[in-house]
Structure 1
Amino acid sequence: MLEFLMLSLRLEEGINTVDFNKRFNLDFCNLYLDDLKEYIEGNILIKNKDCYKLSNKGKLFANEVASKFVK
């Protein structure tokens, strides 16, 4: 899962929640709700439809964001 998240964060599309949910049989948004809210409010993540991607500021924190998602 860590590899998927780290690679996805580095893609232009970001983390596709539909793909994540199917691949890992987990609900990404419910699993990481608090972290997602914090990163969106901090302008580190941007939500586009079913995807979360790093903002320009967030690209500086890609490893930190990915490691936070691994629980």
Structure 2
Amino acid sequence: MAVMAEAMRLRAAGENVVDFSAGQPDFDTPSVAREAGIHAIESGYTRYTANPGAPDLRAAVAEATAATSIWTSERATS
């Protein structure tokens, strides 16, 4: 919940924040994400990951957000 609290603090300070920590995003799922989800299901990826998520996905998100100056929690990469 600390990440959500920080996102709320930044938003209150006028920062443009997209908070993926918990809850419901305020935008529709992009078509590329929907298509990737369908492909994953059709390829047999239908089980839950461990609580922290898939390590390769976490690393890719951390790398992509670092390149665009988007803030992420340090725990997202560990």
Q: Tell me if both proteins adopt one fold, taking TM over 0.5 as the criterion.
A: no
Q: Give the helix-richer structure, 1 or 2.
A: 1
Q: Give the strand-richer structure, 1 or 2.
A: 1
TM-score (norm 2): 0.28
Bigger Rg, which one: 2
Select the structure with the greater relative contact order (CA < 8 A; seq sep ≥ 6). 1
